[in-house]
Structure 1
Amino acid sequence: MTADLVLGDVHPALADTCRAAFEALAEAQQRYGRAELSAETRMGADGTPTMLIDDLVEQRILAAARTHGINVLSEEAGFVDLGSALTLVVDPVDGSANAAAGVPLSCYSAALLEDGKPIEALTCWLETGRSIAARVGEPAPYRTSGARRLAGQALSMLRPKHGARGDTAETWMQLCRRAGRVRILSSSCLEAMLVATGAVDAFADPGSDTHRLVDLAAAMVIMPIAGGHVCDAFGRPLEFDHDLTRRYSGVVAATRELADEIVEVINS
């Protein structure tokens, strides 16, 4: 991997764990092939299979977090309690299927909590080193596009699939018909990052209840600061807790108005 990692002024625990993920992914891709990296090693704490690539990157993140003495909530390991006031809520490799296959669309994404309340977040595009970060109560050097309506706008989505509520294909098509451009990048955290910086107007899970807290944690901190909005399509509150079995259909949009329109389509 030849990309440079430039994180800027972020909390040392975020910087070090992100750097660990960046280096671990590069080493894993050099050492193992596609079939090996995508091989399932165990069942993760979130109730979904863990790939080798997830394991390799997460272990490096956990080691880096231990040097700071902070708790970690991660999709594979679950809650690792070190008795700290600080907790890192992290998705070690969002888009692990992409990363295992050599498709350069994966992210490290994390929110840092103090006494259960978010204080800072960081998302890093692992194949390029590009990152965005935000601190609660401080301005960010980027903004969403400000789009208020879906017509003609750029929309990213999860692929249509069968979920807990049935087949999302028709809802997916309804959203496609309204949008001007549609993409499937298979990395929710990267797609949320693109919404925050104005490259994409919105991202949505069209009703499959695929997202967990770790998929949305950084966006929950970053989007309000960037002028955007994050919600669950079915009105469930997004909460920072330790329950990785809880599922959401996340909607990340440039504005509250745009999010509301997407939610209306999903619920129709």
Structure 2
Amino acid sequence: MRYADFIESVLREASIIANKNFGKVVGRIKPHDSTQVLTDTDIEIGSYLVGEVRKNYPTHNIIDEESGAIDNGSDFTWVIDPIDGTANFAVGVPTYGAMIGLLEKSVSIAGGLSLPSFNQIITAEKDKGAYLNKELIKVSSETDLSNTLIAIGMDPDKEDPDKIRNQMKISAEVLLNSRNLRSSNSVFDLVMLAKGSYGGWISLSGKIWDNVGPQIVLEEAGAVYTDYLGNPIDYSDPLTKTELNYTNCVASPVLHKKLQEIIHSI
């Protein structure tokens, strides 16, 4: 089975689980991170996805946001976010979904994103393109940043309020140079970017499970995918990187260059 076919199949089933529980869950704060919300559906979907990977690819490693890492000593590592946008999901906001990606050593080679409430699934494999419900998609061809919507993702950090205030300065500069900003702070923004509705995405906080699936999807859709400062994303020794903070700047080559000019001017 092609990785993309497997990914589409499991994301389809994960979407069924999410839609079944949507509007019926109660969110709770994760004990180790007051900015993160957890529901029983995160656990249910995570358990399902981990189980399917273990059944179909028993020798591969796994990183799941909720259950942790399984080290099988493999060059292949599946990275799973059962619900990205749990805070949205927990209060009945439909901008959430699942993300799954596959690393070969330190390179993202396959991945998928889902939006259960919109019946949308994107899959991608390296050098094979990105497909939304089996239709080839590309990022926006717009070259004028002022004509585009830019997604911004950030999380609160009450221990470092100056960091948040600086992030708002960044957002202000991007807003002044684009049509407007959008922020579901979830996989919804990434799907909008991949299908060409948004022009770019900047995020200042995230984990490895927020990146491996999206990176291959967005690169196969034609985007440049880097950290906030324009550097390559580092997935070397992925099982050791579950606590590492990742930042992002993602857009078409033309718009990525313009966003980097703004970022480096601040």
* Cα distance between partner residues in 1 of 2:192 and 2:121: 10
Alignment partner of 1:158 is 2:153:
yes
Counterpart in the other structure of 1:244: 242
- Note closer, same or farther for the CA distance 1:159–1:89 as it changes in structure 2 (3 Å cut): closer
* Residue identity in the other structure for 1:266: I
* Cα distance between partner residues in 2 of 1:247 and 1:87: 19
- Note closer, same or farther for the CA distance 1:218–1:151 as it changes in structure 2 (3 Å cut): same
Aligned positions of 1:38-57 closer than 5 A: 38-40=27-29, 42-43=31-32, 49=36, 51-52=38-39, 53-57=41-45
Q: Structure 1 residue 238: deviation in Å?
A: 0.6
Counterpart in the other structure of 1:125: 115
Aligned 8 A contact 2:200 2:250 in 1: yes
Q: Deviations over 1:150-195 (max 9, x none)?
A: 22211111258556844211221111111113212221x2212211
Q: Deviations over 1:101-124 (max 9, x none)?
A: 111111211112345543221111
* Cα distance between partner residues in 1 of 2:38 and 2:155: 22
- Paired residues, what number? 249
Q: 1:74 aligns with which of 56, 64, 69?
A: 64
Alignment partner of 1:182 is 2:181:
yes
* Residue identity in the other structure for 1:51: L
Counterpart in the other structure of 1:169: 168
Aligned positions of 1:131-142 closer than 5 A: 131-140=121-130, 141-142=136-137
* Cα distance between partner residues in 2 of 1:169 and 1:138: 37
Q: Deviations over 1:188-236 (max 9, x none)?
A: x22122111111111112xxx3122211212221222222111111244
Q: 2:19 aligns with which of 11, 14, 26?
A: 26
SS in 2 for 1:151: helix
Higher mean displacement: 224-233 or 70-79: 70-79
Q: 2:100 aligns with which of 95, 102, 110?
A: 110
Q: Which runs of 5+ in 1 are unaligned?
A: 1-8
Q: Percent identity?
A: 20
- Note closer, same or farther for the CA distance 1:115–1:249 as it changes in structure 2 (3 Å cut): closer
Counterpart in the other structure of 2:133: none
SS in 2 for 1:176: helix
Scaled by the length of structure 1, the TM-score of the pair is: 0.81
- Note closer, same or farther for the CA distance 1:262–1:19 as it changes in structure 2 (3 Å cut): same
Counterpart in the other structure of 1:265: 262
Q: Structure 1 residue 24: deviation in Å?
A: 2.6
* Residue identity in the other structure for 2:226: C
Q: Structure 1 residue 54: deviation in Å?
A: 2.3
* Residue identity in the other structure for 1:124: S
Q: Structure 1 residue 99: deviation in Å?
A: 0.9
Q: 2:210 aligns with which of 215, 233, 238?
A: 215
Scaled by the length of structure 2, the TM-score of the pair is: 0.82
Aligned 8 A contact 2:114 2:122 in 1: yes
Alignment partner of 1:94 is 2:88:
no
Aligned 8 A contact 1:42 1:50 in 2: no
* Cα distance between partner residues in 2 of 1:142 and 1:109: 18
SS in 1 for 2:12: helix
* Residue identity in the other structure for 2:178: A
* Residue identity in the other structure for 1:61: L
Counterpart in the other structure of 2:202: 204
Q: Structure 1 residue 93: deviation in Å?
A: 0.7
* Residue identity in the other structure for 2:250: V
Q: Deviations over 1:31-90 (max 9, x none)?
A: x44xx2x1136548xx97551242232122222222222432122222223455542112
* Residue identity in the other structure for 1:248: Y
- Give the superposed CA RMSD: 2.6
Aligned 8 A contact 1:113 1:120 in 2: yes
